[in-house]
Every structure is written in structure tokens, then in C-alpha cells.
Amino acid sequence: MAILTARRRFQRLALVAAVFLTAYLLLRRTSHIPPHEDRRRVKYVAASFDWAARRPTHPVDKATMTRMPPGIPRQLPRIQHEFTQDELGASHNQTQRARRDAVRHAAERSWRTYREHAWGRDEIAPLTLRGQDSFAGWGATAVDSLDSLWIMDMKDEFQHVVRHVATIDWDKPTSSLCSLFETTIRFLGGLLAAYDLSRDRVLLDKAVELGEMLYAGFDTPNHMPANSFNFRAAKEGRLAAGTNEASAAAASLSLEFTRLSQLTGDPKYYHAIDGVTRALDKTQDSTKLPGMWPVFVDLKNDFLTPGHGFSLGASADSAYEYLSKMHALLGGLDPVYEKLHTKAMATAKQHLLFRPMLPDSPAPAPAPAPDILFSGSVFASGTGEADLNPEVQHLACFAGGMFALGGRLFGDDGDVQTGERLARGCAWAYGAFPTGIMPEVSEVVACQTAGGEAGGGGGNLAACAWDEARWEQHGKHPKPFASVRDSSYLLRPEAIESIFVLYRITGKADLLDVAWQMFESIRKATETELAHSAIKDVQAAGETVKTDAMESFWIAETLKYFYLIFSEPELISLDDYVLNTEAHPFRVPKPGDGSLRADISRAM
């Protein structure tokens, strides 16, 4: 009997274990979160205000809510160059590893200084070593740098930030309002990308909390986003979209909100940004420069576009950047993004892009002027006239990567070449100044041609002869610069961003040397005792004057792009990820990708 009883006990224990094992496997199969994740390992503090429970003033009818386009993601064209073993030989890799390690060292010392002197604050002032809050005090540098820490294999520091993220209370800001745009690209984008890389559930939970809050920014009479996000007004449903809002602020929420819908299965985030997309589509051909949208738009009155100013620079930039990237993130299932992108790029080529008037290289090594382009700004009358201002904004240097990426996605080799000319233009501008860094805003003497080059699309893209007298009319800036309106460098990433994208797309090895020269120039000009700082004047011949500023994008973007260009091409492949305007990588759904199929199906 004793033997029989023991056997029955064993059978019962085995049955109980089988039940628990079956339940565990079922939960594992039905969840899109890997089972090893356990939120209990960190102290999780839920936000003290439940934005999900807030009753909207202008509710959306769930029956008519726009959902993500159905279907299996298309097989998109290959974006990255197929690197051969010869291209990635031993000596090549050894050089790039040394360069990558130098970048990592700069990131480590910058991060260490932030952690030791400004932990939990938005930014560190690298000279006075004071913490400061520019983005509501939730720790912008920490959250923005999360995926950089992961990518650079600083995993202990990554886990330290995760523990901090778990305790963020979005209802305890240091100011009465925040920018919907900045909070989305830095905080929400940072959390989503870090989740896509690590699959740590804490990050997604906090992203959902934040997403619920930011979604309230669309609770306006016409459901256009209110970029000036006043916390009290948002809680009370009193937000309204602006009448003179930056087009980038309105149209650069789509990647983050779409990825949040993909990961949670809640379509409301995608529905919110789809309204902006449809407004872009409706107005694209009726602006004063058809094909593009003015820098500032009237969102309050149903997306009016009366403005005369057009640019790929400040306040407009990422509105265009996100079009091709949304095409990729949606697996090519919504044709509107290809249409919006190709029309906008055609208009930009015709009116905004221009070739600078350049001298040939002098003896003893004479060479023809480089084949480069810049993107300026345009004042359009609406009657067919468009006056080009040949300004060069560092912010607009992202355009090289944008043209090249769109060219690959949409089968336009000419746009890839245009992208390369733009990327090399900004790299050339770096070398034109004593510090080896281009200024924030300058103006060059542009070529003036009547007919334009074959296939160029505009009258400002063809080469022209150097005219010394014409340049001298503007003063004695480096050739061919006519003026320098803002001579600072703010640790910005846009120039290296385009060089990185063009290297990954074309495989041209000389771009690695271009990137290294840029990094070395930036390192020398911005290095402080413990970190790196923005500088006052890139024209300084000797020691630079530091301005005691280090925004979160220094680690999140600039150093990340430098690190990636010197790393193996498989690390954050452009075929596997799209990077938001803050360089946060979101995983691209693909046919047969089991790790994402559950995410996508939940959003249908």
C-alpha cells in the first residue's frame, strides 16, 4: 500500500506539473513578449495619472477608426549594399574596429559624466557639470541614449537606465507643458527602439503609459495634434492645434505612433497619425509650391497651407524624412507614402537643390571641383515663381540619406546619386572651415544656370565656372561661402547620418575615411575635461569656445551614427530597421517574420 500511495502521489505531482507546464507554454505561445522577461525584477512605478482612463472631449468612433492596412508585408527592395569578403577584409576591419572603439570611448566618457553629475535630469552642462531640464525633467539623456547603450554593448548601463525608466512618473514633470513632437521622438521613440532591441517588457509598458498621454494631444476639435502639450489643459480636454505650427511637428509622429500600434495591437495610435497623412495627401498639389508643404501650416483650421516658405531644414525636415520610412514600416502596404515622397522629392530637386560655385583645386595637385549639392530654401509666390535662397543648414544635411533611401525603396537610382551628392556636399562643408566642422547656418554663392543638366530636374544643379569677383562681393569667408549667419556647432548628427546611410547603400569605402575625418574634427573641437560640448564658432583657428551644452542627441544620434558606420554592416541593417529622426531603430515587419507576425495581427 505504501508503494501504491507513493506512486499515486508521484502521478498527481506529475499531473500538476504537466498542467502548469501546459499553461506556461500556452502563455508563451500567445504572448508576443518573450517569456524570460519579468517586470518584477525592477521596481515598477505606474504613472500617478491614468491617461487611459481619461474621458476624451472629442471622442473617436471606434467603428470608423482607421486601422493599419491589412495584408502580409511586401518584400521590399534591398536597401543595403551586399558587402563582399574582399570589401570587409582583415586590414579593413582592424582599422574600422579601432575607429569604432574611439567613438565608444567618447560615448562612455560622455555617459559617465551625465550619470555622475546629472543623473535623472534631461541634460548635463559639460563644463559646469550641472544638471538641467529642457524636456519636462523625465531624464531625456537617459531615455534617448537607451538604444545607443545597447548597440554599443554597454549592457550594464542599459540595465541601470531600465531601472530608472521603470520609475518615471509622467505626471510629475518639471514644467507645465512639453512639446508633443520632442517628447514623441526622444522619449517614446527611445523606449520603443530599446524594446525592439532588447524585448524588455518594462520598456514597452512605459511606452504605453507615455503613448496614452501623448494620444491626448490629438483630442482636439479636428483631431489635429496640439504640439504645445499643456498637461492641465490636456487632462481637461482643452487642447487645440496651432494656427502656425511647424510642419515637422505635425507630420513627424507617424513612425512612433505606428510602431506603438504594431506592438500593442491598439489601432488608435495609428488612426491618430493617419489623419495627418490624409491631410498631407489632400493638400500636396495645392500649396504655393505644389509637391511640398510650407514650413508652417495651420492645423487648427483643417490643415491650411497658406505659407510662402519651403525648406528641407529647420521646422520642416522630418516631415519629409518620415514618408519613405513609413512606407517601409508598413511593409509597403499603403501606397500613399510612396506618392507623397516621390512628389515631394521631385519638387525639391527642381526648386530647392542647388550646386555651389566652386573653384578647382589649386596646384600642386590640381583637380576639378567636386560634384556636390546643397539644399536651400525657397520663397514661392504661388504664381509659378520660386526664389531660391542658397542657405546651408546643418539640419538639412539629413536630406542626402533621405534621397538615397527613397531611391532604393522606389527604384530610382538617380535619387541615390542625388543623395550621394548632397551627403558629400555637407562633408565638403565640414572641411571648408578651420575646425573641420560646418556651421549651423551659412550661405554660399550658388551656380546660376538657365537650363540645368540632363536629368537633373532643375536649373541650379549643373556645374559652373568659378567667378572670383562674384564671390568677393560677399566678403572674405571660405570659398564659396557668402556669409555665416550662425557659426555654432551644437553636436548635431545630420551630416554623419547621411554619410552613414550612403555608405551602407553604396558600399563606397572612401566614405569611411570621410566619416573618420569628421569624427576627429568634432572630437578635437568639442572635447572638454570630462565630456563634449557645443562650440560657439566653427571658424575659430585655435582653441574653440565651448557653450556648456550637450543635448541628448549627442549620444542618441551623433555618436550612434559614428559607431554604426565603423561597425559590421549587419548591426542595425537598413533592411531590418527604420530609424526615426532621433536615430531610434524600429524593426521592419517582413513576410514570414514570426517574431513580428503576432504584433501585426493584433493591430488588424
Would you name the residues annotated as active-site residues? 182, 317, 440, 494
Cα 526 to Cα 68, 412, 436, 512: the distances in Å are: 44, 38, 11, 21
Is beta strand 391-393 parallel, antiparallel or unpaired with respect to 441-444? antiparallel
Q: CA 306 to CA 27: how far, in whole Å?
A: 54
What H or E segment, with its residue span, contains residue 599? helix 594-602
Instruction: Name, in order, each residue with C-beta under 8 angstroms of 477's C-beta and a sequence gap of 6 or more.
Output: 442, 483, 484
C-alpha cell at 202: 518594462
Grid cell for residue 122: 534631461
CA contacts within 13 A on the Cβ side of 161: 31
Q: Give CA–CA dist 32/40, Å, rounded.
A: 18
Three-point CA angle 602, 603, 604, nearest 5°: 95
Question: How far is 371 from 461, CA to CA, in rounded Å?
Answer: 10
The answer to whether the bond into 364 is cis (omega within 30° of 0) is: yes
* Residue 255: all three cell numbers together: 513612425
Spatial distance between the Cα atoms of 489 and 97, rounded to a whole number of angstroms: 27
Cα 29 to Cα 26, 32, 34, 528: the distances in Å are 5, 8, 9, 51
Contact 324, 341 (CB under 8 A): yes
Q: What is the DSSP letter of 384?
A: S
* Distance (Å, whole) CA 7 – CA 2: 9
Alpha helix ranges (H) inside 119-154: 140-144, 146-151
Query: Do strands 245-246 and 374-375 pair parallel, antiparallel, or not at all (unpaired)?
Result: unpaired
Q: Which residue do the cell numbers 550619470 mark?
A: 115
**506 among the known binding-site residues?**
no
User: Per the annotation, where are the binding residues for Ca(2+)?
Assistant: 581
User: Per the annotation, where are the binding residues?
Assistant: 581
